[in-house]
């Protein structure tokens, strides 16, 4: 599979886009809706740093303020939104298989711990997306960090301020209780979920999606099926609006990070089916 949609500032890899066309057509045929993010804060496949480098900067945080870096980023956005699927002929901006556009996976601006710079970029970029595509929702891809009492956070990300712009349609956060630097008790998880759900609904006035959550395998302190069940159930009981588990894989896929679930693992799949049926109410 072609890994890179863009190779350098002047070359869009059409082979990669055609493969993604197939993915989107398959999603439509199977009743699946997709959240598409345009890039990543992290460097696994290039990420924010590449756009800054194309504009002559080594610091990836220049993306948030440099006009040239933003021009390159908006080119990527426009390329996706205005594309016509080569498999089914649908324009992406008209495709109901797209649930929402994600500005970026886990955007951070460590250069500005107040969050003001990143919030401004979120607002302006979301407005740009809406100018090209008024048909789909837009969200931030944010991890859910809060500013402290001093008005700062090391990530430069602000859960409240970052989700307030009019062109942002719902709030997101990411949570991994089993990470070594977390090792959360379930009471801590409940406290966090309560806060995100309440603040999204009452302070921001928008729905909230637990956009990433995962439980590591083979950790006796965290029975995976039970934790997936309890986290998912608690989130919806408290009024949460949607979840995306990280992550589901094909049984033949061999590159996992310990959080993965494949369809042959019925212990886990039955949990997701149970909660999907609860939400659907009428079952399959």
* Catalytic residue (one of 19, 43, 58, 106): 106
To the nearest 5 percent, what fractions of the chain are helix, strand and coil?
A: 40, 10, 45
Active site residue 43: no
Structure tokens at 235: 């989130």
Residue with tokens 């309890």: 230
197: nearest Cα among 163, 223, 170, 235: 235
* Catalytic residue (one of 180, 212, 237, 260): 212
Q: Which SS3 state, helix, strand or coil, does residue 139 take?
A: strand
Q: Is the peptide bond before 247 cis (omega within 30 degrees of 0)?
A: yes
How many CB atoms lie under 10 A from the CB of residue 57?
17
The continuous run of DSSP H or E covering 49 comes out as: helix 47-54
Active site residue 180: no
Judge whether 122 and 103 are in contact, CB under 8 Å.
Answer: yes
Judge whether 146 and 158 are in contact, CB under 8 Å.
Answer: yes
Q: Which residues are catalytic?
A: 106, 212
């Amino acid at each position: 599979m072609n890994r890179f949609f863009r190779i350098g500032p002047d070359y869009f890899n059409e082979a990669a886009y055609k493969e993604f066309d197939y993915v989107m057509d398959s999603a439509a045929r199977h009743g699946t809706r997709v959240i598409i993010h345009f890039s990543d804060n992290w460097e696994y496949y290039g990420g924010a740093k590449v756009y800054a480098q194309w504009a002559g900067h080594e610091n990836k945080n220049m993306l948030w303020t440099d006009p040239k870096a933003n021009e390159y980023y908006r080119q990527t956005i426009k390329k996706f939104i205005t594309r016509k699927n080569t498999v089914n002929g649908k324009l992406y901006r008209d495709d109901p298989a797209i649930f929402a556009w994600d500005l970026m996976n886990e955007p951070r601006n460590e250069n500005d711990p107040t969050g003001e710079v990143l919030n401004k970029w979120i607002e302006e970029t979301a407005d740009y997306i809406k100018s090209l595509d008024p048909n789909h929702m837009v969200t931030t891809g944010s991890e859910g960090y809060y500013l402290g009492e001093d008005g700062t956070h090391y990530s430069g990300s602000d859960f409240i301020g970052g989700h307030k712009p009019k062109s942002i349609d719902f709030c997101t956060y990411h949570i991994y209780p089993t990470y070594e630097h977390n090792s959360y008790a379930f009471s801590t998880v409940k406290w966090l979920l309560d806060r995100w759900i309440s603040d999204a609904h009452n302070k921001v006035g928008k729905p909230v999606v637990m956009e990433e959550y995962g439980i590591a395998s083979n950790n006796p302190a965290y029975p995976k099926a039970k934790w997936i069940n309890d986290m998912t159930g608690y989130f919806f009981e408290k009024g949460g609006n949607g979840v995306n588990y990280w992550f589901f894989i094909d049984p033949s896929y061999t590159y996992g990070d310990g959080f993965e679930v494949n369809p042959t693992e019925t212990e886990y799949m039955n949990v997701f089916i149970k909660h999907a049926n609860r939400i659907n109410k009428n079952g399959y």
